[in-house]
Every structure is written in C-alpha cells, then in structure tokens.
Amino acid sequence: MTPQTFGQQLRRHREKRRITLREIASQTKVSAGLFESLENGECVRWPGGIYGRGFVRAYATAVGLDPEQVVAIFSDCYPQFALEVPEEPAPEAPEPPQTMLARLKGAVAAWFRVLADTRR
C-alpha cells in the first residue's frame, strides 16, 4: 500500500463517520494540518520517533479504527516511523582479579568492622 492510498482510506473512513479534521484535532490536541497531511500521504515532514506513531494512533482511535493495525500499516508506508529496536547492551568487561594485597586489605577492614560492632 502506498502512503497516498493509505491516506485516502483513512479519509474515506473519517468522512463516512462524518467526523471533521477539526473535531479530531480538538479531541487529540494534534493540529488538523498534520492529519490533513496524513490523509494526503505527505507525512515525510512529521516529527520522528514515537510522536508520528502516536499521532496516527490518536487519529485511528478518534475515527473508530483499530489503532495498532493502523499504526502497523503506517509504519509499512513510512519506514522512517517504524519501531526502533533498541540495541543490546554491550556485555560488561569482567573485573580484573584482585591481588593478594587487595584481598588482605578487605579482610582486615572487615575484621575491624566486626570488632567495632561487638564492642557496642
């Protein structure tokens, strides 16, 4: 499906339900101009990331369509708005093994803490 046919289908559904772009804009707090560009298949200047998908989800809900299905089609038509898969975090480097002196310092410090606790 092309962006233009997707937008035309949205417009037809909205008009069939007799809902104006102004009503949707008022309900969603998103400008009617953005929704008009969606219906015209011209979303290339929309804000990126989750905002574009959120606007489509709001439009779909306002006109009575399944928002997840509409967002999926929108993402197909506009790949730049597709869900971004977060990268796997890099594995942490293992800590270097402690030297014998570092272990001895830790043991002595722990021993002094135990002594201080027992004297209270």
Q: What are the structural domain ranges in the chain?
A: 3-81
- Burial level of 115, CB count in 10 A (0-12/13-18/19+)? exposed
Q: Who contacts 41 (Cβ-Cβ below 8 Å, separation ≥6)? A: 2, 3, 4, 5, 6, 7, 8, 77
Amino acid at 116: A
pLDDT(14) > 90:
yes
Instruction: For 71-110, write each residue's pLDDT tens digit.
Output: 999 988 888 777 655 566 667 767 777 788 888 888 888 8
Instruction: For 38-63, write each residue's pLDDT tens digit.
Output: 999 888 778 877 888 899 999 999 99
Superfamily for the 3-81 domain: lambda repressor-like DNA-binding domains (1.10.260.40)
> Global pTM?
0.66
Q: What is the mean pLDDT of the chain?
A: 85
